[in-house]
Amino acid sequence: MPRGTLIVFEGLDRCGKTTQTRLCVEGLSRTGVKLAAGLPWRFPDRTTPIGEVLNTYLTSKTELGDEAAHLLFSANRWEKAATIREALGRGETVVYDRYAYSGVAYSVAKGLGMEWCLAADEGLPRPDVVVFLEVGVDEARGREGFGGERFEEAETQKRVGAVFDRLKGEGWSVVEGSGRMEEVAERVKAVVWPVVQAVTGRDDEVGELWGQGVRKRQG
């Protein structure tokens, strides 16, 4: 049986990921692609015990050291790794709102080492496509809800964006995220749909991070 496609959305806070992951899932379901239940999935998954701790951290009800926070965000992905692989193995496509790239980008922006940050997520299922929604910090900060959580301020977002720039590589599609949501959704569809069709016809194994795309060792 052909496996499902792993589609990941990344970007700064308020770049439109939540809207676009939803529209992407709606679009895929109309085309008849077999989808995992309850999409889009998202990281952090705030429903697990680890995710509850991360939620209190992000809403500033708990303090965590940067290393501890990084490892908890990563652990929150590892606790879903088998579920993701199983869904893909059943031929179900999975759409994620944030993934390990956010983990690295936010932690490196706080000053942690790139290599140390990459190590925690090494071996997770590798996305077939990373859709990066590009929205300038000035536009994102003007959107409703910006500033509600930890890290949602311009200086941090600029540093996070600079790390994302270093992570962009093979398998990434940078999509202009400004404009009407329907227009952005069309741009997303233009990059996602060919990948879904290619994966469906290929019958290969799901890869592992940090295979092609992001170098394993980075300064």
Interface segment toward ligand NYM; rule CB under 6 A; list 27-35, 101-109, 130-138, 174-182 = 101-109
Residue whose beta carbon is closest to Mg ion:
13
C-beta separation of 18 from 104 below 8 A = no
Type and span of the H or E element at 145: none
The reply on whether position 40 binds ligand NYM by CB under 6 A is: no
Shortest Cβ 2–ligand NYM spacing (Å): 28
103 near ligand NYM (CB under 6 A): yes
The answer for residues whose C-beta is within 8 angstroms of residue 78's C-beta and 6 or more apart is 124
Residue 124, phi then psi, degrees to nearest 5? -65, 160
Q: Judge contact between 17 and 9, C-beta under 8 A.
A: yes
- Neighbour count for residue 213 (Cβ, 10 Å): 17
Please work out the total of residues on this chain that contact ligand NYM, with binding judged by CB under 6 A. Answer: 12
Stretch that binds ligand NYM, among 22-30, 95-103, 126-134, 203-211 (CB under 6 A): 95-103
21 binds ligand NYM (CB under 6 A): no
The string over 159-188, giving b where at least 16 C-beta atoms fall within 10 Å of a residue's C-beta and e elsewhere, is: bbbebbeebbeebbbbbebeeeeeebbebb
With tokens 């809207």, the residue in question is 19
80 in contact with ligand NYM (CB under 6 A): no
Q: Is 126 in the site for ligand NYM (CB under 6 A)?
A: no
For residue 153, the Cα-to-chain-centroid distance in whole angstroms is: 20
d(CA 23, CA 21): 6
User: Which CB sits closer to Mg ion, 10 or 13?
Assistant: 13
Is residue 44 involved in binding ligand NYM (CB under 6 A)? yes
**Contacting ligand NYM (CB under 6 A), which of 9, 41, 96, 106?**
106
CB of residue 31 to ligand NYM, shortest distance in Å: 26
Is there binding between residue 41 and ligand NYM (CB under 6 A)? no
45 closest CA partner among 11, 74, 86? 74
* 43 near ligand NYM (CB under 6 A): yes
96 part of the interface to ligand NYM, by CB under 6 A = no
Q: Which residues bind ligand NYM (CB under 6 A)?
A: 13, 43-44, 58, 73, 97-98, 102-103, 106, 149, 151
